[in-house]
Structures are given as structure tokens and as C-alpha cells.
Structure 1
Amino acid sequence: MTALGVVFRPQLPPERLRSIVRAADGAGLDELWLWEDCFLESGIATSSAALAWSERLHVGVGLLPVPLRNVALTAMEVATLHRLFPGRVTVGIGHGVQDWMAQVGARVESPLTLLHEYATALRALLRGERVSTDGRYVRLDDVALDWPPLGPVPVLAGAVGPRSLVLTGEVGDGTVIDARVTPDGLRDALALVGEGRRRAGRTGEWPVVVYVLAATGPGARERVAAEAASSGHSVDGLGAAGDADEVAAVVRGLAEAGATTVVLQPTADEPDPEGFVRFAAERVRPLVPR
């Protein structure tokens, strides 16, 4: 099954979130994804509001930057969301943008070590375990949640580089990949994830969330190309632009390459974010096999 989502980009002001959520819920969008980008908006605060404002919408947070957040706090917040809105939220963690982490004094010498320690501790806390650990970065002394989730809670991990992709397969419960991949690039990335899973003896289903830069309407191709180039991610075949058939074809290509959720990432200059959500739910979704 392939789920289809849309990102509420935090370049939009927080007060705009409610109308996006209403549009997504009303149009039947599968998933709405949120970012915790410095220094824009909180991923947890926005996800809580989005869940409360909707009846059925699944909300994803991808990604929470681990250098910015104490692991016990993240465990408390994720557990609270799952108790309040069971089965309707997915949370991913990642290294964070290193320049931003440096700005707040949180950059670490070894992001890989931090993510490994953090994911291991977070998953244990969310399983209701009592955790003591004295790692290089993560230190907990007899910590357990009083209100752990009532069921299993997957923790997805995001990555770009090869070693980080391998790590997501070792310590995560799924992988989040940003919008710089084509279907061939996704296959290469998932081969690395698979290497990590084999190292850790991980088997079974593996959620793969992939963002894709997307636009429709006048100037769609030019907007996608301009944003990709400005981000330094200009690659042949990158992004999805055009009408519903053209966007759906890109979504299907990513699904065939291994994505279980494809999240359309509107350009920063998207003139009608609510309309884009309805376009995804009402026109693209019917063209993508479930």
C-alpha cells in the first residue's frame, strides 16, 4: 500500500495551519506531514494542534532534530501524542541541519553516535522500559515514562548520507528520505538501509517515507526546477510538476522503488497551499494504487 501525504511547510505562519488541516481532513488526504525546522515552528506543538483540529487525518512529524532535544522530553511528548490520538501520528528523528545545531550550541562531534544512542534510548522508553545508560551523549539514570504508549510506537529515522542511511536500518523502525532522490536514487538508498537492517537482524515490513518536491498549475515546472537548484539538489528527473497524471506518475515511480508513503512537498512559493492539498487528495490520490 502507498499512502499519499502533503507537507505543511513551516515557512507558512503557524496560524495558517488550521485551514490546511481543515482542507486536508475535508478532502480525505491520507497524511499531513510537519517539520521542526530552526527557527520556524515546533513539530510537536503543530502536530498536536493538527490532530485536535481533524477527525481522521494521520499526522507525521519528520524530522525532530535530536541534538536540539533531550531524549526523555521527546519520549514524553511522543507518548502523550499517542495516548491522546492513538494510531494517528508518526514521528521521525534525525541529525538536524548541522549549521542550525551550531547556532544553538547543540552541534556534536559525532552525529552518528548521537543518533544511535538517542534512537536506542527513545525506542526503549516508548516500550515502557526503565532505562539507564551512560553514553557519549545520551545519559539516563533509572528513567521510565509514567504514561507510556498503550501499544507499539515506531520511531522513524531520517538520513541523507550513506552511513546515516545504514544507521536508520539498524536503530530505527523505518526510514525518512528527503526530496533530493529520484526512483533510482531511492533504490540505492534502500540498499544501504537494507544493509543496516541485516546487521541488526531486523526483518518484516519497513516504512519508507519519501518527500518529493511538487507543483501544479501555471509555471509548475519552472518553480520546481528553481527551488531544486536553489537548494543545490538539481538532478535530472527530480521532483513532480504538472497536472494530476504527471504528478501521480512520479508518485507511482517512487512507490515502485520502495516508498510506502510519498509526501508531496509544495514549493516555498506555492500560491494556494489549501488548493494544493485538495489537488493531492482529490486528483492525485485516485491515480495512485493503494
Structure 2
Amino acid sequence: MTGLGAVFRPQLPPERLRAIARLAEDSGLDELWLWEDCFLEGGISAASAALAWTERLRVGVGLLPVPLRNVALTAMEAATLARMFPGRATLAVGHGVQSWMGQVGARAESPVTLLREYLHALRALLAGERVTVDGRYVKLDGVALDWPPAEAFPILAGVTGPRSLRLSGEAADGTILTASNAPEQVRRARGLIDEGRETAGRTDPHHVVIYLRAATGPDAEARLRAEIEADGDGTGAEHGVAGDAETVARAVRQLADAGADTVILQPTADEPDHEAFIRFVAQEVRPLVP
């Protein structure tokens, strides 16, 4: 079955998360995803609260920028979530927006090298290993978690370019794709991910999550078009969907057919009614997505 969820955008004030997380749970939404965009809201703190306020809802953070976070700290926080809320938390890591990383003095000269070292160390720590590594960026001396996850905790990579997609296949357990990817681009991304998996000899499942810009209501097309243009994706309708539940569900099914395992509907930044959007996804779109 194709997973379906929605984004709580960090342009909303943090104090609104509680009501929306509870609504997502009560409405039957599969997943609620959060963003750690600079300089808005913390991903781990928000995810912890959303998980604590709910009983069933799965909560994802897509993504944590690795230049901002020591890998041991990320492992500690991931393991804590995994043990407190088994099977309900998903974390993704990635390069981060390079201009933001520059603003905080954390920009890496080689983001791909940093992410490769980080993924290998993070997955080893979460597997309960004692890790010693002296990499270009990641340096650990006999580090092991006292409370590693009690069961496997997959780590996803949020990436875009060909080198990073191959790296995700090699070193991550799944990939998050941005809303800039149309179905044909998802197929190409899957191919690059598979190249990385083959190089690393991996045969385990690799979960692909993709964001999909979505809008509904009388002004949906205008809002969607403005958001696509603001994000620098031109005017292509393939970079989002506006319309009723069947129209949105059709776009979700097309992404699933192209290789996405989970589609997360991303409301526009100026969505006038975020609660209504959650209900729309859970109660109207979900029944139309197998």
C-alpha cells in the first residue's frame, strides 16, 4: 500500500502543532511530517511533542541538516525517539540548504563526503556498534550508545543530485525526494539509487518518500502556481497538483507508479485552512489511494 501523509509546515507557529497532530490522529492520517528549516522550528523537539500528543500517528522529520548536528547527538536523539515511540518515528538527514549552513558557519567544503561519513557512522551507532572513525568531518573515539534502539531504526537521506542519490542507495535505508520531482524524475532517481545499492551490494528494502505540492479549494490553482514559481520550478504543472480529491489522488498514484513508496502532500505556504487540509488528505484522498 502506498503511504500517504501531510506536512506541518514550519511557517506555522509551533504552538499550533498540538492541535494539528491530534487532528491528524483523529482523522486517520497515516503520517505527519515536519521540517527543520532554518531558522524556524527544531525537528527533534517538534517530533517528540507530536509523538507524545498522539498514540498511533507516525511522525517524520525531513530533514535534519548534518552540518548543524554532531552525529553522536543525532544518534542519541534518534535512539531516544525509537525507544519511547517504537515504530512511529522516521528521521531523514541531508546536506541542508548551503546558504543557511554558511550563515551559521557550518558549511562543509564537500557536502557529499560529510553525508557519506555521517550516514555510515549514524547507522552503525543505531545498530548498537561501538564506533571509532577519523574521517574528514566525522570523528568518533570508541562511541557507543547506552540505549540503542530496541529494533532496527531506518535512516533516510534527503538528497537531490546524482552523486547524492547514489550515496543514498549506498549508505541510507531510504530516500526523501523534494516536490520538484515529477514522475519521470522519480524513475530516474530510483535508477541512481539502485546504482548505489548495487555498488554497495545491498539487497535490503529502500523506502522512497516524496513530497507533493497540493492545493484544493476555489483558489487552489493560483496558489499552487505561485508557490511553484516562488520555489524556482517555473510554471510546470507536473511539480504539484491542484483540485479535488480524485485529482490529487491521481497525482499520488502516478508518483507511486514511478517508484515512490510514500507520498507526503505539502500544502502551500499560504494555505488558508491547515486543519481542513489535514482532513482533506486523511478522509477524502486516502480512500482513493490503494
TM range (shorter): over 0.9
The TM-score with structure 1 as length reference comes to 0.99
Alignment match, 2:181: 181
User: Equivalents in 2 of 1:218, 1:66: separation in Å?
Assistant: 40
- What secondary structure does 1:237 align onto? helix
Alignment match, 1:246: 247
Q: Deviations over 1:194-252 (max 9, x none)?
A: 11111111113211000001100011111111101111013342201100000000000
Alignment match, 1:40: 40
Alignment match, 1:28: 28
Alignment match, 1:83: 83
User: Equivalents in 1 of 2:215, 2:4: separation in Å?
Assistant: 15
Alignment match, 1:16: 16
Q: Deviations over 1:140-198 (max 9, x none)?
A: 00100011100111010111111111111011001100100111111011111111111
User: Equivalents in 2 of 1:129, 1:238: separation in Å?
Assistant: 41
Alignment match, 2:218: 218
5 Å matches for 1:110-121? Answer: 110-121=110-121
User: Equivalents in 2 of 1:210, 1:103: separation in Å?
Assistant: 27
Alignment match, 1:163: 163
Alignment match, 1:134: 134
User: Equivalents in 2 of 1:83, 1:233: separation in Å?
Assistant: 40
How far does residue 11 in structure 1 lie from its aligned partner after superposition? 0.5
Q: Deviations over 1:242-270 (max 9, x none)?
A: 00000000000001111111000000000
Alignment match, 1:264: 265
Q: Does 2:61 match 1:61?
A: yes
User: Equivalents in 1 of 2:201, 2:237: separation in Å?
Assistant: 35
8 Å Cα contact 2:167/2:193 also seen in 1: yes
User: Equivalents in 2 of 1:262, 1:199: separation in Å?
Assistant: 27
**In structure 1, what residue type is equivalent to 2:262?**
T
User: Equivalents in 2 of 1:188, 1:124: separation in Å?
Assistant: 29
**In structure 2, what residue type is equivalent to 1:54?**
T
The TM-score with structure 2 as length reference comes to 0.99
Q: Which runs of 5+ in 2 are unaligned?
A: none
User: Equivalents in 2 of 1:219, 1:274: separation in Å?
Assistant: 17
User: Equivalents in 1 of 2:204, 2:116: separation in Å?
Assistant: 21
Q: Does 2:283 match 1:278?
A: no
**In structure 2, what residue type is equivalent to 1:40?**
L
Alignment match, 2:289: 288
8 Å Cα contact 2:90/2:155 also seen in 1: yes
Alignment match, 1:144: 144
8 Å Cα contact 2:249/2:289 also seen in 1: yes
Alignment match, 1:109: 109
Aligned positions, number: 289
8 Å Cα contact 2:173/2:205 also seen in 1: no
Q: Deviations over 1:94-122 (max 9, x none)?
A: 00000000000000100000000000000
User: Equivalents in 2 of 1:236, 1:4: separation in Å?
Assistant: 21
**In structure 2, what residue type is equivalent to 1:228?**
I
**In structure 1, what residue type is equivalent to 2:141?**
D
224-233 vs 98-107, which moves further:
224-233
How far does residue 275 in structure 1 lie from its aligned partner after superposition? 0.7
- What secondary structure does 1:128 align onto? coil
User: Equivalents in 2 of 1:236, 1:265: separation in Å?
Assistant: 15
**In structure 1, what residue type is equivalent to 2:81?**
L
User: Equivalents in 1 of 2:229, 2:191: separation in Å?
Assistant: 26
How far does residue 39 in structure 1 lie from its aligned partner after superposition? 0.2
- What secondary structure does 1:10 align onto? coil
**In structure 1, what residue type is equivalent to 2:266?**
Q
User: Equivalents in 2 of 1:48, 1:275: separation in Å?
Assistant: 24
User: Equivalents in 1 of 2:54, 2:18: separation in Å?
Assistant: 9
Alignment match, 2:233: 233
**In structure 2, what residue type is equivalent to 1:254?**
L
